[in-house]
Amino acid sequence: EVNSQTGRRQVLTLDIGGGLPVNYWGDDFGAEKVPTFTEYAKHLREHVPELFSGEFKVLTEFGQSMNAKCGFLASRIEWMKGTPERPIAIIHFGADCCPRQAYTP
């Protein structure tokens, strides 16, 4: 709609962040089943087909649902800080990728 009203491609990218729910112990999330990525994409295709027209670059932010049940994550260490008693590694992953307990075990 913005692109139509301005007469040019003003909006090029859509960020549909917000993530997907995560349940570390199963596939149920309360009364609802946690959707798979395939189910989520199917739902978007059915309800918002404009996202897949090729007109926009679409970004997702799945956060912890991307790796909630994986065995390990590998990241490079960007730099170190802290004290000799408590060194802190600054890694390439963000807070959306690791549960808080991983930061201070």
pTM value is 0.55
CA atoms within 13 A on the CB side of 74: 0
Collapsing DSSP to helix, strand or coil, 25 comes out as: coil
Q: Residue 87 is encoded by which pair of tokens?
A: 């060194």
Number of domains present in the structure of the chain: 2
- Residues 56 and 79 both lie in one domain: no
Q: Domain residues for 27?
A: 1-69
Interval 5-44: pLDDT, tens:
887 777 778 888 877 877 777 666 566 677 888 888 899 9
Interval 51-94: pLDDT, tens:
888 888 888 878 777 777 766 778 888 899 999 999 988 887 76
Please name the residue that has the structure tokens 């139509």.
4
- Residues 13 and 27 both lie in one domain: yes
